[in-house]
Amino acid sequence: MMLLARISITVLLASLFSVAHAAGLTIEITKGAQTAVPIAIVPFGQGGAIGNVKLSDVVSSDLGGSGFFKTLAEDDMLTKPTEAQKINFKDWQVLGQDYMVIGQVIGNGNQFNIEFQLFNVNNGGLLMGYRFTAGAHELRRAAHHISDLIYEKLTGRKGSFNTRIAYVTNAVRSQGRQYLLQVADADGFNPRTIAESPEPIMAPAWSPDGAKIAYVSFHTKRSEIYVQTLATGQRESVSAYPGINGAPAFSPDGSRLAITLSKDGSPDVYILNLSNRGLTRLTSGMSIETEPTWSPDGSTIVFTSDQGGKPQLYTIPSSGGKSSRLTFQGDYNARGRFSTDGRSLAMVTANGGDYRIAVMDMASRTVNVVSSGRLDESPSFSPNGSMVLFAAKSGPRSTLAVASTDGAVQQKLAFETGEIREPAWAP
């Protein structure tokens, strides 16, 4: 959750969420890039019982939402070939397409053989052909894998479609309101609850290998930091000091957590060694220091502090030393998060009274606002660094949203009901 002007600590922002059922999801592209490359994802030939998963729709949604591609609507297609020899490339040139994808899915309801081909429409050249097998429960992930392969082939960058996100929501059970920590596909589908509590759950953070999630729970009526292994569900309390235990962030090697503790007075940033529980204090003083994040090389911690009177981002060596101010533009900058290559830093910034997501270029220190909401919070980079996931609220509906790092493309992942908060994109 976002720090307000008085820089309230994340773990204290435990206001009640609206009832959330997370029964469905609508993906709405609210802003598209004008320079997006035209590509047609022709409906795959789908044989056998395949349920309600239409692979071509998933691929089209992935690529269209990336900001790099403009996908052709199925209704605008003159033909819908599923085999290379049936393609008339002139038809697709007339439609202004640069690339096209065809494919087939054949199976018996449990196991499917999937194949697709990517063509250059202008010269008819085959750019990629791929064939693999997937189970019935893996079809959406198979479609995301296809999207990743196409994206990498045409952009030179790895895709992030076949990845996961974590977020916090809640639901009303027979025993009352329950807070849920959920993990879902990167497009919000296939949610799975990994932790549930009648007390707030906050600040999920992925381990570098994607095998564990650290988070804050109040199930004992006070803040406590847990690390949970996703494969087994086993969780372990790693920090339960008096006062605030909050804002965990894994080091790049996964051996340590940067956390916020108030056990020695005002909230400060500490490094917790997960193997022996040893603590190293990084900041001290009367100001509030919180929301630490590691640089990808592990040498630097960026954190939020009000030591200058208003919330701003500061840096400090992870080995200890003197802190220095990083942000100067505006009265409010908080919740810094690095891209995987360390070249960019996402943050929450106050913009004319609205809280929006911005991206700083670490080399030039220029800041670009990429979201357009009034209460946007909790930014998290995609693994390839091309998109930023964040929580957005407009009116009564809470959503997850994604924006390209230049702000040219924005899309919302709108659940039918409920509050969806504190998203974190898996490595």
Average pLDDT over residues 51-75: 91
Q: If you average pLDDT over every residue of the chain, what do you get?
A: 89
pLDDT band with cut points at 50, 70 and 90 for residue 10:
very low
pLDDT of residue 397: 64
Q: Give residue-wise pLDDT tens across range 161-188.
A: 999 999 999 887 777 788 999 999 998 8
The CATH number assigned to the domain with range 10-22+163-425 reads 2.120.10.30
pLDDT band with cut points at 50, 70 and 90 for residue 412:
confident
Q: Which of 157-166, 172-181, 342-351, 378-387 has the lowest mean pLDDT?
A: 172-181
pLDDT band with cut points at 50, 70 and 90 for residue 33:
low
pLDDT band with cut points at 50, 70 and 90 for residue 65:
confident
pLDDT of residue 260: 98
Evaluate if residue 16 carries a pLDDT over 60: no
Average pLDDT over residues 336-353: 94
pLDDT of residue 270: 98
Q: Give residue-wise pLDDT tens across range 277-296.
A: 999 999 998 899 999 999 99
**CATH number of 34-155: 3.30.930.10, 3.30.530.20, 3.40.50.300, 3.40.50.10070?**
3.40.50.10070
Average pLDDT over residues 362-368: 95
pLDDT of residue 66: 86
Domain ranges of the chain: 10-22+163-425, 34-155
Average pLDDT over residues 321-327: 96
Evaluate if residue 20 carries a pLDDT over 70: no
Evaluate if residue 6 carries a pLDDT over 60: no
pLDDT band with cut points at 50, 70 and 90 for residue 352:
confident
Taking the CA atoms of 37, 143, 204 and 318 in sequence, report the sign of the dihedral they define: negative
Q: Greater confidence, 6 or 248?
A: 248
Percent share of the chain, pLDDT over 90: 74
Evaluate if residue 406 carries a pLDDT over 90: no
pLDDT band with cut points at 50, 70 and 90 for residue 35:
confident
Evaluate if residue 7 carries a pLDDT over 50: no
Q: Give residue-wise pLDDT tens across range 189-237.
A: 889 999 999 999 999 999 999 999 999 999 999 999 999 999 999 999 9
Evaluate if residue 384 carries a pLDDT over 90: yes
Quick check: do 10-22+163-425 and 34-155 share a fold? no
pLDDT band with cut points at 50, 70 and 90 for residue 149:
very high
pLDDT band with cut points at 50, 70 and 90 for residue 74:
very high
Evaluate if residue 2 carries a pLDDT over 90: no
What does pTM read for this prediction? 0.88
